[in-house]
Amino acid sequence: MKRIGVLTGGGDAPGLNAVIRAVVKTALNQFGCETLGILDGYDGFVNEHGVIPLGIEDVRGILPRGGTILGAASRGNPYARKVVRDGREVLIDVSEEIVKGIRKQNMDALLVLGGEGTLRIAHELFQKGAPVIGVPKTIDNDIGGTEVTFGFNTALEIATEALDRLHTTAEAHHRVMVLELMGRDAGFITLEAGIAGGADVILIPEIPFKYDSVVAKVHQRRNQGRLFSIVAVSEGAKTYRR
């Protein structure tokens, strides 16, 4: 390989800049390979000046920086790109332009750093003949066939710390405190943070819950002399329905 591209898509997640840095340094130092950065996700292929060279100097000092130096378009779907025509907003398919853009830049491979949506698009571009390599990124840890996605561990640490901090306040004021955690339809953050942070009730999307069961658990703790409870709730948690 002589030239590769790298883009970031989807929502923000810890570690994006670290991966970009690793790609650039590994490509250049170990393989003598040039790296191009695609700005704002797939939009970079259709926007003017959307493709830039990335060298060692460009990635120096970015490890502690949040976000991504390349930018990301969480709604940048090339199969449904929003444009204004005759004063109206319409959706158009520019996927062929993306494939042509990859070939125009003479890329031997395009590294796509993204979550479920971004990698689904990457797979569809691959089926069109684009040389794509998917790098799983999401705090939700919900990409099939992937043990751990980057961004998940940092989110887990922060969620666990939040639960730890709630304990002292809940105990001092004899309160039931509820912490809602991200993850969409996956409960990995809530489950693992709840266990590590000592939550008394953990509600995740994969297991529907009943309010009566939650209340019973809180009353049980009160009857045992524990006058506070911590409830960790995933944003996608659902009630049980027959």
Q: Which residues are catalytic?
A: 140
Q: Please check whether residue 159 is in contact with residue 181, taking contact to mean a CB–CB distance below 8 angstroms.
A: yes
Strand pairing class (132-136; 34-38): unpaired
Cβ atoms within 10 Å of 227's Cβ, excluding its own: 13
Single-letter code of the amino acid located at 142: D
Residue carrying the six token digits 């060692």: 56
Nearest of 101, 140, 92, 93 to residue 119 by alpha carbon: 140
What tokens does 23 get? 């790609």
Beta bridge partners of 6: 37, 111
CA distance 185 to 201: 18
Interacting residues of 207 by C-beta distance below 8 A, sequence separation 6+: 187
